[in-house]
Amino acid sequence: MDHLDELENQSVFILREAYKKFKNLAMLWSIGKDSTVLLWLARKAFFGQCPIPLVHIDTSYKIPKMIEYRDKIAKEWGVTLVVGQNKKALDEGMNHAKGRIVCCEALKTQGLQQIMEDKGYTGLILGIRRDEEGTRAKERYFSPRDKNFEWNFKDQPPELWDQFKTTFAEGTHIRIHPLLHWTELNVWEYIDREKIPIIDLYFSNAEGKRYRSLGCAPCTFPIDSQARTVPEIIEELKSTTVSERSGRAQDQENTYAMQKLRARGYM
Amino acid sequence: MNDTVQLSNLSTKLMRLVIVGHVDHGKSTLVGRLLADTDSLAKGKMQFVQDICDRQGKVFEFAFLLDALEEEQEQGITIDTSQIFFKTRKRSYVIIDAPGHKEFLKNMVTGAANAEAAFLLIDAFEGVQEQSRRHGYILKLLGLTQVAVVVNKMDMVKYDPEVYYRIKAEFSSFLNPLGIEPRMFIPISAKLGVNVARRGDEMPWYKGPTILEMADQFEKRPPQDHLPFRMPVQDIYKFDPRRIVAGRVESGKVRVGDKVVFSPSNKTGVVKTIEGWSVPTPPAEACSSQSVGFTLTEQLFVERGEIVSLADQPLPIVSTTFDANVFWMGKRRLEKERNYTLKLTTQEVVCEIVGFRKVIDASTLETLGDQDYLVKNDVAELTIKTRQPVVFDQFGVIAETGRFVLVDDYDVCGGGIITTYSPTAKKDKLRDEVRLRDFHWAASKITPDQRAYRNGHRAALILLTGKAGVGKAVLAQLLEEKLFHNNFQSYLLDGRNVRLGVGADMDNDRYFGDGEAVRRFGEVAKLFLDAGHVVISTSNTFNQEDHSDIRMLAEPSPVVEILISDQPRTHGEVDIVLTPEEAGKKSETVNKIYNYLKDKKILVGHNYSI
């Protein structure tokens, strides 16, 4: 077993635990590389099926190509897609100009909260990774959120020997993070090995730019890159010292922006 | 911002290291220093931390590279464990920074449980402290014995070798009795980077490895393929015509065509296929730490929680009682006469603590008198009793199936390893006997189904229970007759007859004293059941527990219990309750039982004519 096999087997184990222990489970699909790898791993775990519905939070500001790709893959792979949107906030004119943190909370966090309440989900699978940023490095595989959607990062449950927190009080829910132990490079190496079809926004365009991380159009910026293929991206990542989320404006709003966003239920 | 530069791990495996030790002894500083000195930090990260320090009017601290939470930076302590990636020329690492404050022991455990080797840090100036010892003990309980001790802040003691040797002697005498032999004691200054990534000239008297050199010398845990095969059933999938038994191989390996045993049900089957998706060819074998799924040549009803092993290898233990070493992290005490959930592999059972054999203050190794409860952060040797049988191995034999967690309310509050098991309880011995018997039973070429078809009924055991003189014997005789006259194979097995013949070698004390009467009676009944009969039994000498033992011996044949009693209180296993008056209306009652057996599809009628 090589390292990618180890990562894959651990993620499959976690997905199967989640599927067994949560009656009402959903998986968040941001259309990006991580959650698409997660979807692929679910098909591995369940021998070709994805018995878990996929939730996409559509802020309406996503890069248009993302929606196109989402609908195409959902159809081809026969997955159940649930789209959530905070229509009230959008009707009231919410956008990033009102403040990036405010906008993220309204359109992403509250959008997610609404669909979870509607559907009664008690378990939510997300593709976050420890190497993305500092607060995610402290996450658990099974991470509880209280009834106000909040993450109590100061009092997290112990997690040992792959015994996870799968019981919880009424009104609370659990976030499940099967990719927590992967790195950005692992994700690309796995995409390469498995030949997973990834949205082409990640590849260098005619202007010599590509997205390294995907989000809403107004707050996500491409990087300079000549990498046009998955192997070229892998080569590029091996020598870079720039962080993955440097093109994500909300992270840079203030020193503890991500901690504050995530404590209140952000992904 | 991601915290580290990218690592390629395609060819090399990752080594997971944890850094533990007392609060303020410099764990986060060491990790920060390691990252900085191995160029593992993202561009701008050092500057980012410098800016935070400037804004808060603090001197630059390497620890801020890991302590990402605002509260951590303000208070200067690590609250939760962090995992950071870095690499040396030899290989890649995940370095787990565990908190040292007593308050956050559960976070330390979370970090250390996921590591393969540990650096245990001690402040040269403060010396061995409470958490130094407690963390040492916890490492031992987690099975993490690949440990190097780091004597940090040598700059604060002017790099004095006396200090180093004193700490080495003191801490060795604590660790060695636990079975931990530190690979090395490394004197360093994390703050100044001495003996971390580079060897300084401050301590010419130290000839051993630096932190980085030591890290490269730790060994990866080898695959557990050589051990007996164990796969806890995680789930059964029926998304399509395949019925897939899914789970992770914890040890050993399994191949297509292997005969497998499920415990505790003792069901057996043969592996037909090992399934895969998006793989060029279906796998022929599955090895340890693979999450797999297989189908069987014949469909079996098995459930999550059973452990699959190979028929020709040692079986796991099945028991309701065992001894364990437990550490406790709960806010409430661990105490007797309360129920906890025990989670072991994919099994979940209710358990209680029946004995506190030795309670230990983990920071001093002092035994706490006759204490029969356990408070947060302490450890104990316990005897645990579970409501249903649990399948396990001793921790020293197969670690993955020899450890468990205890859940109080909604949270994991304790962890433990199973140290010893000896089948002292009568029930355990009987269960072991049943398993041995089932595996080695020479099966007839005539199947139970064929016998049932011929006889017009399935084999079953009917137990008539109740106090002496309520009319059991008469009823049993009438039932035997009724079945016989309807062309069914019925036999009234009298306990006295078993005693007179099969039990003739023992005196009364021995025969009735330690469950031997029950065992022999049950095994004789088992033979009749194997022959396809409806066995009717009545005995005044057997009590409630005995009947439960007889059930175990008779399984998987159905057991029907008919209790004659005027007491409203009954236990869960009774099928029919009759008052003595009802039992007195003999033919009516016999018909009632007869109809019940028909309803239960035990009597199905003859489908053939001669």
- Residues B438-483: tens digit of each pLDDT: 777 888 899 888 899 889 999 999 999 888 888 888 999 999 999 9
What are the DSSP E strand ranges found in B297-434? 307-310, 317-328, 334-335, 340-344, 347-361, 366-367, 373-374, 379-392, 403-408, 411-420
Q: What whole-number distance in Å separates Cα of residue A180 and Cα of residue A164? A: 14
The residue assigned the tokens 């947060």 is B376
The CATH code of the domain that includes A163 is: 3.40.50.620
Within 386-445 of B, beta carbons closer than 8 Å to A belong to: 400, 403-405, 407, 410-412, 415
CA separation (Å) from B598 to B564, B576, B601? 20, 14, 5
Percent of chain B with pLDDT over 70: 93
pLDDT above 60: residue B609: no
Find the helix packing angle between B161-175 and B130-141, rounded to 10°: 40
**C-alpha–C-alpha distance, residues A192 and A40, integer Å:** 13
Q: Is B47 near chain A, with CB under 8 Å?
A: no
CATH class of B14-217: alpha beta
| pLDDT at B6 > cutoff 60 | no
Greater confidence (B549 vs B406) lies with: B406
Q: Higher pLDDT residue, B179 or A258?
A: B179
**Do A192 and A233 share a domain, yes or no?**
yes
Q: Is the dihedral of CA B1, B7, B13, B15 positive or negative?
A: negative
Give chain B positions within 8 Å (CB) of A243.
1-3, 42-45
Fold of B445-599: Rossmann fold (3.40.50)
Is a pLDDT exceeding 70 seen at residue B610? no
pLDDT at B8 over 60: no
Residue pointed to by tokens 């850094």: B19
> Residue B407 above 90 pLDDT?
yes
From A32-46, A208-222, B82-96, B239-253, the region with the lowest mean pLDDT: B82-96
A224 in the same domain as A154: no
What is the rounded average pLDDT of the residues A68-88?
91
Tell me whether residues A163 and B3 touch, CB distance under 8 A: no
Does pLDDT of A244 surpass 70?
A: yes
Q: Which of A96-100, A188-192, A205-209, A244-248 has the highest mean pLDDT?
A: A188-192
Say if the ipTM goes beyond 0.95: no
pLDDT digits (tens, 9 = 90+) for A83-92: 988 988 888 8
B14-217 and B317-428 share one fold: no
Q: Which long-range contacts (CB under 8 A, 24 or more apart) does B512-515 make?
A: B512/B541, B514/B426, B515/B426, B515/B430, B515/B546, B515/B549
Q: What Cα–Cα distance (Å) separates residue B347 from each residue in A95, A167, B47?
A: 49, 14, 49
Comparing alpha-carbon positions, the chain A residue that sits nearest to B15 is A3
Residues A59 and A34 in one domain: yes
pLDDT in tens, B332-347: 999 999 999 999 999 9
Q: Tell me what pLDDT residue B232 has.
A: 98
The total number of structural domains in chain A stands at: 2
Domain range enclosing A12? 3-183+255-263
Query: By mean pLDDT, which of B46-55, B152-161, B337-346, B475-484 is the weakest?
Result: B46-55
Say yes or no: A117 and A197 in one domain.
Answer: no
For residues B399 and B401, what is the distance between their CA atoms, to the nearest angstrom?
A: 6
Q: Which of A16, A20, A131 sits opposite B2 (nearest CB)?
A: A131
State pLDDT tens for residues A95-154: 888 888 888 888 888 999 899 999 999 999 999 998 887 788 888 999 999 888 888 887
Residue of higher predicted confidence among B63 and A138: A138
Contact A134 B82 (CB under 8 A): yes
**A153 and A138 share one domain:** yes
Q: Can you identify the CATH homologous superfamily of domain B317-428? A: Translation factors (2.40.30.10)
What was the pLDDT predicted at B287?
94
CA-wise closest residue to B182 among B149, B135, B222? B149
Q: From the list A3, A46, A237, which residue is nearest B12 (CB)?
A: A3
Question: Is CATH 3.40.50.720 the classification given to domain B231-310?
Answer: no
What is the tens place of the pLDDT at every residue in B111-133? 888 899 999 999 999 988 888 88
Average pLDDT over residues B18-27: 84
Contacts of B309 (CB under 8 A, 6+ apart): B228, B229, B230, B231, B260, B261, B263, B315, B316
The answer on pLDDT for B282 being more than 80 is: yes
User: Domain map of chain B by residue range?
Assistant: 14-217, 231-310, 317-428, 445-599
Chain B residue with the nearest C-alpha to that of A254: B52
